Structure 1
């Protein structure tokens, strides 16, 4: 299993026949029909985006150690690399949109700040479902009649759907001026963090590589996410540490080495400071249970 997550299923983007456009529209009903063995209820880590709307019904969903209650109007956005599971969607109905990283451009700020799940009121849900239906119809037309296919059109319709659903705090973006500059800088910083966070733990390392000073990265990150560049980096390292501890039985010392810490004591200090508990306590509290009900608790 990639990334050492022995109990987490790694999902790769594999479009259906005729859907090789970087996006695919399904539904909760279609997911259930394709998953007769209910593997959706087990931890999984997609390398693509999953965007879902609950048009009716209730259920539950878990994403990176947060549990969400699903109901009519619930909106779910799973980013690539998130460890999640559809705990219970037997009664949910509505569209699911799968799309590759990079298929949707120009929404860096909302991607970074929108939670994994939020709620739409009745009026916004109605408009969002219409937008999803439009995307679905164009997607099916592209699959059935290739000469009608337009990846650019599909990308624009996907962007329209997401903009229609974004929480008010993230619904606006600045296309020009300082906001645009901050978005550009943060986009580069976030990509570099994702590539190097397992061995670069100082913002100065990223500043040198990207050609910015630390203050520029800090201003751009704070303007985009509401937190500084160092805090953003630390939270990314912490999230991966939590995933490793909860979803593998690797010793804490191995987890520390995988994340670029020279010794386990430095890792333990970092984790305790960020999570308010030591790594072993986190593993006991959140570790994935095996078939016998035990929790993976690899030693130090």
Structure 2
């Protein structure tokens, strides 16, 4: 089984709509329901692209990596590539729905930082002032996208990329001024919550050298977490000292480099246990553990439950 493939979970690849050969697409919940009469949206799926939604009206629910989120007016949903999610209930939800590839927003900057954050929040709520500006940004992007599709002479990928970036900057959570969409319902209290910094980070700029170090480390972890479980391996490959990676990772996420790496391995372990029938020993092998007992010890320490008990409580979520 290749990394990222989970039997039982629909793997979604980004494919531009006919006549819209861009790395961004603007849809709506109404269009989603129209295109999906079989309600496949309610079953687990794993896109290789970003999905962002703004809830203008209605109430519903969404599940992302084992955490349920209530949806209501002024809710922002952001599903990053690789996240296993499902639209649990969006039958009455209205609002824009955006799909875009990882490399479409211009880089570097706070937008690239946010799009690359594998532990970024999946759901939050904006205050009224921020929401109004976000909807204007989304509407501008929608109009430009429609114009580009209908009249290729007007098409401009850089313009669409910058309008998408403006929208991302408008919807990024900025702090505790407004409460999140509601307390997420975790299937087992305390067992799923990822440790780390405030889940509502703002787009404040980081010191550039440290951000560059963390960005390189984060990309390396995402590519090799199933092979290398020690920070020193990444430090050697990237040409840094381990303490440099730890300092940069802590500045960016509030986690040490080893904690960040362990959390990424743990997240994939949970996905394998919940969405496949692989025995724990095979999960261990897939994640680079040469001894199933070491995998069990790692999982128990990180999640507070053995792999078998965790699977029993979360299977199919």
Does TM, normalized by the shorter one, top 0.5?
Answer: yes
Match of 2:166 among 160, 164, 182: 160
SS of 1:261's partner is coil
Match of 1:143 among 123, 146, 149: 149
Q: Report the alpha carbon displacement of residue 17 of structure 1 after superposing the two structures with TM.
A: 1.5
Cα pair 1:7 1:248 within 8 Å, conserved: yes
| Number of residue-to-residue matches in the alignment | 286
Q: Report the alpha carbon displacement of residue 110 of structure 1 after superposing the two structures with TM.
A: 2.9
Relative distance call for 1:114 and 1:244 in structure 2 (3 A) is closer
What's the TM-score, normalizing by structure 1?
Answer: 0.92
Aligned pair 1:262/2:268, yes or no?
Answer: no
| More deviation, 227-236/215-224 | 215-224
Residues 96-175 of structure 1 correspond to what in structure 2 (within 5 A)?
Answer: 96-104=97-105, 105=107, 106=109, 107-111=111-115, 112=117, 114-169=120-175, 170-174=201-205
Cα pair 1:110 1:171 within 8 Å, conserved: no
Residues 1-300 of structure 1 correspond to what in structure 2 (within 5 A)?
Answer: 3-104=4-105, 105=107, 106=109, 107-111=111-115, 112=117, 114-169=120-175, 170-174=201-205, 179-288=207-316
Cα pair 1:77 1:117 within 8 Å, conserved: yes
Unaligned runs of at least 5 residues, structure 1: 290-300
Could you list the structure 1 runs, at least 4 aligned residues long, displaced by more than 4 angstroms after superposition. Answer: none
Cα pair 1:114 1:166 within 8 Å, conserved: no
Cα pair 1:108 1:187 within 8 Å, conserved: no
| More deviation, 59-68/137-146 | 137-146
* Distance in 1, Cα, partners of 2:46 & 2:13: 9
Cα pair 1:163 1:171 within 8 Å, conserved: no
Cα pair 2:47 2:82 within 8 Å, conserved: yes
What do residues 74-107 of structure 1 show as CA deviations (whole Å, max 9, x unaligned)? 1000000000000000010000110011112332
Relative distance call for 1:81 and 1:233 in structure 2 (3 A) is same
* Distance in 2, Cα, partners of 1:277 & 1:143: 50
* Distance in 1, Cα, partners of 2:276 & 2:123: 25
Q: Report the alpha carbon displacement of residue 123 of structure 1 after superposing the two structures with TM.
A: 2.0
| More deviation, 91-100/181-190 | 181-190
Q: Report the alpha carbon displacement of residue 4 of structure 1 after superposing the two structures with TM.
A: 4.3
* Distance in 2, Cα, partners of 1:84 & 1:53: 16
| More deviation, 219-228/256-265 | 219-228
SS of 1:31's partner is helix
| More deviation, 164-173/254-263 | 164-173
